[in-house]
Amino acid sequence: MQLLMYNSLLALNWMLLNGEVSLLNLCIGYVLGYGLLWLLRPLFSSITYFDKIHKAITFGFFFLWELFRANINMVRLVLFKPNRDIHPAIIALPLKAETDAEIALLANLISLTPGTLSLDVSSDQKVLYIHAIDVTDVDKLREELQKGLEARLLEVMR
């Protein structure tokens, strides 16, 4: 957490020294600050920050890929599949996520993906109920969500 603060301060300093307050300058400052902190990493006792940033970037690309795939599947569903061949389902997804933040972020990411919608969380917060617009194999969908999206999200969050 300390390195995140240093990186943010370096980014703000870059933006202010550059003379233009903009999101682009802040991002450039953040990348330059990250590079400087990475070069100075032997001076810090904890370097998990760099692992977390790498996992977060990897997760971002993973989610963008999943979003792209879901959009392509929805296009195929809408354009090429007759209504009688669609198999909607409500599935119960057992959760490994424990905190409210982890569950909320997972539910929101599932809802952002076209074709799926988070409906409810059980009262004991162990199961997330999801509606999927076209499911041929419920177990396969459950496994994809648990081993893909949830597992990668928990790597970033924990």
pLDDT of residue 47: 72
> Which token pair is 18?
């550059």
**Contacts of residue 19, Cβ cutoff 8 Å, sequence gap at least 6:** none
> Which token pair is 149?
């999206």
Identify the segments of the chain with pLDDT beneath 50: none
Tens of pLDDT, residue by residue over 39-66, are: 998 888 777 888 899 999 999 999 999 9
**Buried b or exposed e, range 97-132, using 16+ CB within 10 angstroms:** beeeebbebbbebbeebbbbbbeebeeeeeebebbb
The structural domains of the chain, with segments of one domain joined by +, span 2-46, 49-157
pLDDT of residue 108: 97
